[in-house]
Chain A
Amino acid sequence: MTNYLDFEKPLAEIEGKAEELRAMARGNEEMDVTEEAAALDKKAATLLRDLYKNLTPWRKCQVARHPERPHCKDYIEALFTEYTPLAGDRNFADDHAVMGGLARFNDQPVIVIGHEKGNDTKSRIERNFGMARPEGYRKAIRLMEMADKFGLPVITLVDTPGAYPGKGAEERGQSEAIARSTEKLLQIKVPVMSVIIGEGGSGGAVAFATADKLAMLEHSVYSVISPEGCASILWKDSEKMREAAEALRLTAQDLQKLEVCDRVIPEPLGGAHRDRAATIKSVGAAVSQMMKEVANQKGDALLQSRRKKFLEMGSKGLAA
């Protein structure tokens, strides 16, 4: 059962009809619906192509948040071997919104860190919908330090609506934790590769995405504020999220033009959730590629070029 987004409604109808026809045929041997079903399939395919040919920024946000999109856990299971989760910030708690630990990527030992949103009600609550609390960033910082000490590359998978706006999170220093995580990524002398696999929400994303190389999935987004939040502040109307999404330039394609994102990873037609395995495979290939790209720089030279990348970022704007 596919979960359709609001703009996919016409598609849902056609695909639903085709499915109905086939179900009817299964119950009645004399009925031959192959041709009709195939015609519907063809119509659906055309519609899908048209819908996804030019997704508006707001629709991209919806695809990026699609509940069936592969999440951090799926990538770790498929792309890494010997994943050994390491828990806790040694200070307060273990944050389940952040996954992280030792693993092998193409046999090479690495540290992998990412936001996990969960895939059903129970796991979503347990993962706090991918919204980390200070403990999550502090766990990540600990892992980054470990990576630095043992010379392991860091791979981060970013997928968060943002940092968790809660009372305890603020009391325990949400801002400081995010600032330190960003700072740590600008201090370690090992390669840092980051992929935005869904939502790159504000400070919570920056804390993990300050990398040597940043890739984004085709329909992922990375933004200073959610379109809804921006709309309610600047338009004084949270229903203006379409306009806000447009203005914020939060798509992978715009961010590549702004030189914030280094590479856009194509998604299967209809979004990552329509072919999860293929998406995961492309992400794996992109990470391998990024690792190769940074392999010629080591230690301090690598760190300095990472810092330089950020110092020079944005000097051209979109017009360039």
Chain B
Amino acid sequence: MNWITNYVRPTINSIFSRREVPDNLWSKCDECGTMLFHRELKDNLNVCTHCGHHMHITPRDRFKALFDGGVFTEVAVPDPVADPLQFRDQKKYPERMKAAQKSTGEKEAMLVVEGEIGRTPIVAAAQDFSFMGGSMGMYVGNAIIAAAERAIKLKRPLVLFSAAGGARMQEGILSLMQMPRTTVAVQMLKEAGLPYIVVLTHPTTGGVTASYAMLGDVHIAEPNALICFAGPRVIEQTIREKLPEGFQRAEYLLDHGMLDRVTPRTEMRDELVTIIRMLLGLTPAVQGDLPAPVAEEADDTDAKAVEKT
């Protein structure tokens, strides 16, 4: 190592690497078009600070913001048979999978984790819309079963964030069979007397809505999320008339009795903590962002929650 490499090169490099400054420092709000600084947007959980529009957030980012101190542990999900139907459309299914894995950095369309929110131990699962539209195939089914089993083992509530275009066509009938499969998982949870809270995020449609997303003890949706079985385009083609403003959006479903609440993402954590602690008969939570509990403490609260349930 000489002074050239140490001092001169970095300086030179920094001049050239300036071009590599990410060009996504600013994002445009999908709704109002306001340019938002990436850090500001991230701090606000991808909710536009100008108009309140909720943009996509990955399960990992969501969990970092949700759990105390951003600390959570992943729950292992058993791998299903890859490409069970040897499906091929214009591309082969494994190729589509690889492309999705590369672009998201995730293995599949659902992430299952455990951790504490407001010192309340929970198991959480979140569907990743950026991974093949969050579509429900064998893996997502396995993930929900794993989440339910883990929740039952630890005697914790399950919070599920849904987001999907529907079933994964490339798994054909097996994707459809995730409707009964995940329903069994939800039933196991309910029979164990544990809360199952569904947070419906944009968009939640098709077979996902018609199974685990509509079977929660409590249904909370993010504002303006599209929630439906058949999409608006399909319906317009069928009935040949224009649909009313806001049709199948969260607020519309709230009005029609399908949801308990519509809650902004930025208030979701506190609301979940409040609801869960009441359902479990725990004392009110200390509001605000709590640091991650240290190891022994975690065990302690864990034990307390277990006693109460």
List chain A positions with a Cβ less than 8 A from chain B: 163-167, 169-176, 178-180, 182-183, 185-187, 202-203, 206-207, 210, 222-225, 230, 233-235, 243-244, 247-250, 255, 258, 260, 307, 310-311, 313-319
Question: Scoring B residues 225 to 238 as 1 if CB is less than 8 Å from chain A, else 0, what string do you get?
Answer: 00111100011001
- The listed residue (B80, B141, B214, B248) touching A179 by CB distance below 8 A is B214
Q: Tell whether, in the assembled complex, residue A173 and residue B172 are in contact, meaning their CB atoms are under 8 Å apart.
A: no
Interface size class of B (residues with CB under 8 A): 35 or more
Q: Tell whether, in the assembled complex, residue B85 and residue A318 are in contact, meaning their CB atoms are under 8 Å apart.
A: yes
- The listed residue (A165, A179, A186, A258) touching B234 by CB distance below 8 A is A165
Q: Tell whether, in the assembled complex, residue B84 and residue A203 are in contact, meaning their CB atoms are under 8 Å apart.
A: no
- The listed residue (B89, B179, B184) touching A247 by CB distance below 8 A is B89
For this complex, 24 residue pairs linking A to B, each with C-beta atoms less than 8 Å apart, are A166-B239, A167-B239, A170-B230, A170-B235, A171-B256, A174-B228, A175-B228, A176-B258, A178-B211, A178-B229, A179-B213, A180-B214, A186-B183, A206-B179, A224-B167, A235-B89, A247-B172, A255-B173, A260-B173, A260-B174, A310-B177, A310-B180, A310-B181, A313-B174
> Is B138 among interface residues, defined by CB-CB distance under 8 A?
yes
Contacts of B234 in A (CB 8 A): 165
Contacts of A173 in B (CB 8 A): 214, 256-258
Known: A165-B238, A167-B243. A317 touches B85 (CB 8 A): yes
Known: A165-B238, A175-B209, A307-B184. A224 touches B229 (CB 8 A): no
Contacts of A233 in B (CB 8 A): 169
CB-CB contacts below 8 Å: B204-224 with A: 206-207, 209-215
- The listed residue (B87, B172, B215) touching A223 by CB distance below 8 A is B172
Tell me the bound Cα distance from A187 to B184 in angstroms.
9
**Across the two chains, which residue of chain B brings its CB closest to A207?**
B210
Q: Tell whether, in the assembled complex, residue A202 and residue B187 are in contact, meaning their CB atoms are under 8 Å apart.
A: no
Q: Tell whether, in the assembled complex, residue B214 and residue A202 are in contact, meaning their CB atoms are under 8 Å apart.
A: no
> Is B160 among interface residues, defined by CB-CB distance under 8 A?
no
> Is B176 among interface residues, defined by CB-CB distance under 8 A?
yes
